[in-house]
């Protein structure tokens, strides 16, 4: 790896833990989300899974909480019809 990549991996690892454990958590969460029939909702839910997996390691990480809030809002936006939520 390059010095820049090594630095990024080290910084993220200090906050989110080892990528193997983080990815294992994400995969487990996404396996459940895969049951969602709405592909647009699934995108938002998949992104939320990443943030949940990170929060399991570091529950005080404010940015991850805010990202979940943003993905929830955009998920609502893409799943609404002109008449409102389905």
Return the closest-CA partner of residue 76 out of 34, 43, 37, 31: 43
| pLDDT higher than threshold 70 for residue 4 | yes
Beta bridge partners of 81: 84
pLDDT of residue 16: 87
Report the b/e string of 30-65 with b at 16+ CB within 10 A.
beebeeeeeeebbbbbbbbbbbebbbebeeeeeebe
pLDDT per residue as tens digits for the range 5-38: 888 888 888 888 889 999 999 999 999 999 999 9
pLDDT per residue as tens digits for the range 41-54: 999 999 999 999 99
pLDDT per residue as tens digits for the range 54-66: 999 999 999 999 9
Q: What is the pTM of this model?
A: 0.84
């Amino acid at each position: 790896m390059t010095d820049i990549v090594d630095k990024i991996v080290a910084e993220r690892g200090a906050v989110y833990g080892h990528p193997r454990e983080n990815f294992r958590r994400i995969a487990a969460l996404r396996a459940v989300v895969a049951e969602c029939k709405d592909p647009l909702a699934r995108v938002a839910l998949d992104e939320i899974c990443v943030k949940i997996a990170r929060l399991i390691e570091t529950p005080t990480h404010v940015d991850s909480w805010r990202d979940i809030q943003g993905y929830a809002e955009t998920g609502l936006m893409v799943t609404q019809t002109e008449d409102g939520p389905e």
